[in-house]
């Protein structure tokens, strides 16, 4: 099992005017049914851009929009980074994932300067809703991760299960079920999703380049619907067509008391499901501890939610696909 730092390794190989090319190889652990995980692919794209922007005045990712044009494969790849605009506040990048001589994923990324994790709110009126404000949107996950247990992996071809573990929030599952029997008009419909997700590698630390991996794990609408009805979730895939991420702030520094260094919370709102095509809005939050165990130095109290912060928000459009389709696509060779 390769360390995460190796799985996300990309190397600059050439520059041509405003376009830089990075090269890497997909780690065979980060696959599902033989196909690279979409969030992992985006993390490789983002890692290349963070390397490119690291020495500029805009080192931090602010926003990305990704369109998955063709299936990616478990093979070597190139990432082409083109500087579209360099402004006073933001740098705009057009970034392509190249395999088989084609752009298989195309992204537009915006880089700038993110506020520090503990940055104070703006002193200008109506530019912030700080944690002390009565309308502040606080941590939406009801259950503290120390009270939960890791969910066992039941999917045999989930290659990255050795790198990621999770626990769904049972309170949110119950809330979805209560809507089924509630009178019409007493709720707004839709489904909620909530889980704690963490890296299993003990020496790993969260980084902004990993946020796409977490974002693409958001609870999918078809799976939430099956659980709400008390059914087993069908073993299908949910290929992402489009994904956006807005980064809100820096992550806490490793070792910061009261925050897990390998765990994040995901809370989603899922409203529409039409012939398999579904949307999702997901918030990515810091965690007070790992799943089932508190981090050293953390003392749980009733106000733990007040200290958590939203790191990023993400939106997706995804489909439902049978497993056999994904496996057949995975057998296609790749060339650069």
Rounded Cα–Cα distance for residues 191 and 176 (Å): 6
Joined tokens for residue 273: 């499901």
Burial 131-156 (b: 16+ CB within 10 A, else e): eeeeeeeebbbebbbbebeeeeeeee
pLDDT number for residue 32: 82
Rounded Cα–Cα distance for residues 218 and 222 (Å): 12
Joined tokens for residue 80: 């082409």
pLDDT number for residue 157: 56
Give average pLDDT by consecutive 10-residue segment, the chain, 336 residues: 82 93 95 88 98 97 98 96 97 97 98 96 92 94 94 67 91 94 89 95 92 93 90 81 98 90 96 94 96 67 88 96 62 51
CATH 2.40.160.210 for the 4-115+134-330 domain, yes or no: yes
pLDDT number for residue 33: 75
Answer yes or no: are the C-beta atoms of 290 and 313 closer than 8 Å.
Answer: no
Q: What single string gives the DSSP state of each residue in 100-124? A: TTEEEEEEEEEEE-PPPTTPPPPSS
pLDDT number for residue 156: 52
pLDDT number for residue 225: 92
pTM: 0.92
pLDDT number for residue 298: 53
Using CA atoms, how far residue 334 sits from 77, 101, 109, 159, 329, in Å, is: 9, 8, 25, 20, 11
pLDDT number for residue 297: 57
Rounded Cα–Cα distance for residues 109 and 70 (Å): 19
pLDDT number for residue 230: 85
pLDDT number for residue 22: 98
Give the domain ranges of the chain.
Answer: 4-115+134-330
Contacts of 69 (CB under 8 A, 6+ apart): 102, 103, 104, 105, 106
Answer yes or no: are the C-beta atoms of 157 and 130 closer than 8 Å.
Answer: no
């Amino acid at each position: 099992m390769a360390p995460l730092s190796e799985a996300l390794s990309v190397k600059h190989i050439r520059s041509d005017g405003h376009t830089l090319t990075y090269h890497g190889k997909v780690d065979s652990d980060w696959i599902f049914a033989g196909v690279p995980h979409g969030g992992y692919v985006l993390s490789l794209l983002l890692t290349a851009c963070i390397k490119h922007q690291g020495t500029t005045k805009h080192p931090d990712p602010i926003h990305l929009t990704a369109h998955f044009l063709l299936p990616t494969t478990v093979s070597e790849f190139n990432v082409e980074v083109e500087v579209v605009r360099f402004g006073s506040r933001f740098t705009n990048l057009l970034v392509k994932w190249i395999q088989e001589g084609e752009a298989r994923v195309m992204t537009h990324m915006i880089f700038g300067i993110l506020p520090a994790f503990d940055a104070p709110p703006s002193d200008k009126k109506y530019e912030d809703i700080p944690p002390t404000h009565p309308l502040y949107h606080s941590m939406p996950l009801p259950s503290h991760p120390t009270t939960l247990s890791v969910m066992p992996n039941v999917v045999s071809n989930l290659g990255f299960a050795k790198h990621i573990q999770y626990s769904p929030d049972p309170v949110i599952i119950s809330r979805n079920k209560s809507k089924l029997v509630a009178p019409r008009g007493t709720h707004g419909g839709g489904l909620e999703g909530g889980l704690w997700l963490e890296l299993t590698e003990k020496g790993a630390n969260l980084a902004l380049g990993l946020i796409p991996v977490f974002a693409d794990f958001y609870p999918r609408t078809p799976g939430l619907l099956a659980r709400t009805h008390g059914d087993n979730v069908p073993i299908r895939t949910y290929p992402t067509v489009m994904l956006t991420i807005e980064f809100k702030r820096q992550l806490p520094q490793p070792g910061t008391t009261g925050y897990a260094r390998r765990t994040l919370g995901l809370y989603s709102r899922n409203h529409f499901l039409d012939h398999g095509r579904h949307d999702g809005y997901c918030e990515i939050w810091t965690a007070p501890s790992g799943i089932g165990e508190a981090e050293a130095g953390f003392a749980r109290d009733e106000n733990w939610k007040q200290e958590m912060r939203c790191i990023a928000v993400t939106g997706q459009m995804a489909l439902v696909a049978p497993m056999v389709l994904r496996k057949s696509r995975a057998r296609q060779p790749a060339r650069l």
